[in-house]
Amino acid sequence: MNENETECGKKKVLRQEKGWFLNAGIARKHGFEGREIGRFLRGALAAGKCFEGGKMRVLIPILSEQENNEAFLEQALKGAKEAIVLLVVDTNTNTQEEFGFTTAHIQKGRAVIESVKEIIGRKRKKSEEIIEWGDPKSKILNLALLRKVDKVVMKSQENNYFKNLVKSLKDEKIEVETV
């Protein structure tokens, strides 16, 4: 077995990019036929060791007014089938000056979400918007875990709160990409 293969279920599955790509053609190539193919695919997906190519789910938290940048979204949606766009309205007075959207800026956040959803729609990707109130760090972490997203993609920022957020997500074994 070489570095581009692994055991998934009982058969080898070829690796593509950062995930494991699995389809009926690969299952046939490794000796499965008829109904065995469906069982193999379902078993591998249920085991959490593989995902079907192009079915990746990403979480895009809106933390600034720059997430509606077309180049950022192009990078964030690479390989994704579905995007969850999250706006967290920060009610903590300690971080209002430097990070996220405060209660006074809800309308700006809604405008960013609408433009992000429009761009995602033009790329023919499925999207869902969620607005949460509270601490951005805990809301992003909880939603990433509950929705079992494949990765969290964020627009890079130069402040300590952002660096702490990225570190805490990585500590929880969540794949984070900053663009």
pLDDT in tens, 76-92: 998 899 999 999 888 76
- Mean pLDDT of all residues in 112-117: 93
Return the domain boundaries, the chain: 5-46, 56-178
The CATH code that applies to domain 56-178 is 3.40.50.620
Please compute the mean of the pLDDT values over residues 149-176 and round it to a whole number: 91
Q: What tokens were used for 68?
A: 């509606």
Burial 21-56 (b: 16+ CB within 10 A, else e): bbeeebbeebebeeeebeebbeebbeeeebbebeeb
Residue 115's pLDDT band (cuts 50, 70, 90): very high
Question: Does position 118 have pLDDT exceeding 80, yes or no?
Answer: yes
- The three-state secondary structure class of 155 is coil
Nearest to 144 by CA among 73, 63, 58, 76: 58
Count the Cβ atoms, other than its own, within 10 Å of residue 120: 22
**Half-sphere exposure (Cβ direction) of 34: Cα atoms closer than 13 Å:** 1
User: CA–CA separation, 174 vs 152, rounded Å?
Assistant: 7
**pLDDT above 60: residue 11:** no
pTM, whole model, 2 decimals?
0.68
Per-residue pLDDT, 109: 87
